[in-house]
Structure 1
Amino acid sequence: MNFEYSFEKISCKDVENFEKIRNVTLPYDYKQFLLLNNGGKPIKRRFQSKDGKITSSLMMYFPISESVEISLDEKYKIYSIGKIVPSNFLPIGIDPADSLICLSVSGNDIGKVYFCDMDYFEEDNELKKEFISLISNSFTEFTGSLYIPE
């Protein structure tokens, strides 16, 4: 995977610390991605939902980092712990309209990647299920499906 830019390299210990602090187990393929790239802006970034109803672009993968505001930990605190998206979702990226790309980190859909359309978020309520769309069945499938628009 090629990036316009990425963030500082991290170690296995950084990933383990994130998992321990947030009490989550990241899917293996996503952990490997973080160790290789640690977020950033990919060159191939266009994606579609499984049902074909959503087409958008991934503008940024969030990094594990204490030196940037757009870190994985900050987004997890705001959106998952803040009950804006389902608690088993880890926001891993963002599109141009500030909608989220989320990875399920627990439950019967662990490892699946979803699009959370934040245009429909209502204050003090979790995002409704009808505004959450499946993108792929795994992180590897998601990254493999990204393309450059014509």
Structure 2
Amino acid sequence: MTIIQKEVCSIENNFKIKLPKEYRDFIMKGSLEKLKMHRFVTKDKKVESIVKYFFSPKKDYDDDLYGEIQGFTLDQKIPINLIPIAITPAENRVLLSISGKDTGNVYYWAWDEEPEPPTQSYQFMRLIDNNFDDFLNSLHEIE
């Protein structure tokens, strides 16, 4: 088992979650670095932003997936079925639904618009795509 596979299994076991297959495959292929600084647009066309980078599954790595799940999902800043998977230049997050009726949906979360304490709702979120593969296919390089 590779280090990345061990880290992904550790995240799933520690948080008792199951990552959607498309996202899990993306991580396992080591594609995180390839998609830095790619542009996306929300479905409603109201937000255009950039994936600054995807969070690494390596624990204790700068901005790791483990810490993001702990700090946002488990600390109840966002609904429990969502996990942060990427960050934008404005420090907002790209979220992935890992359970419920919207499993696989990818959202843009305007964290900087949230009041204190956060709403723990979809109020400051906008749908980007209905599944992770469509999200990846919609990303385009900054020119």
Of 37-46 and 10-19, the range deviating more from structure 2: 37-46
Which residue of the partner structure matches residue 102 of structure 1? Answer: 95
Of the three residues 108, 123, 126, the one matched with 2:119 is 126
* DSSP 3-state at the match of 2:3: coil
Which residue of the partner structure matches residue 57 of structure 2? Answer: 64
Which residue of the partner structure matches residue 3 of structure 2? Answer: 10
Q: Which runs of 5+ in 2 are unaligned?
A: none
Superposed, which structure 2 residues align to 1:87-98 within 5 Å? 87-98=80-91
**Distance (whole Å) between structure 2 residues aligned to residue 43 and residue 80 of structure 1:** 23
Q: Is 1:77 the counterpart of 2:89 in the alignment? A: no
Q: Which amino acid aligns with 1:82?
A: D
Of 128-137 and 72-81, the range deviating more from structure 2: 128-137
Of 125-134 and 74-83, the range deviating more from structure 2: 125-134
1:66, distance to aligned residue in structure 2 (A): 2.1
1:20, distance to aligned residue in structure 2 (A): 1.0
1:146/1:44 CA distance change after superposition, 3 Å? farther
1:53-91: CA deviation from partner (whole Å, max 9, x where unpaired): 110000010011124130001001111111111111110
1:28, distance to aligned residue in structure 2 (A): 0.5
Q: Is 1:20 the counterpart of 2:10 in the alignment? A: no
- RMSD over aligned Cα, in angstroms? 1.8
* DSSP 3-state at the match of 1:130: coil
Taking every aligned residue pair, what percent have the same amino acid on both sides?
Answer: 30
1:21/1:32 CA distance change after superposition, 3 Å? same
Which residue of the partner structure matches residue 135 of structure 2? Answer: 142
Paired residues in the alignment total 142
Q: Which runs of 5+ in 1 are unaligned?
A: 1-8
Contact 1:41 1:61 in 2 (8 A): no
Contact 1:99 1:115 in 2 (8 A): yes
Contact 2:12 2:18 in 1 (8 A): yes
Contact 2:41 2:128 in 1 (8 A): yes
Of 92-101 and 65-74, the range deviating more from structure 2: 65-74
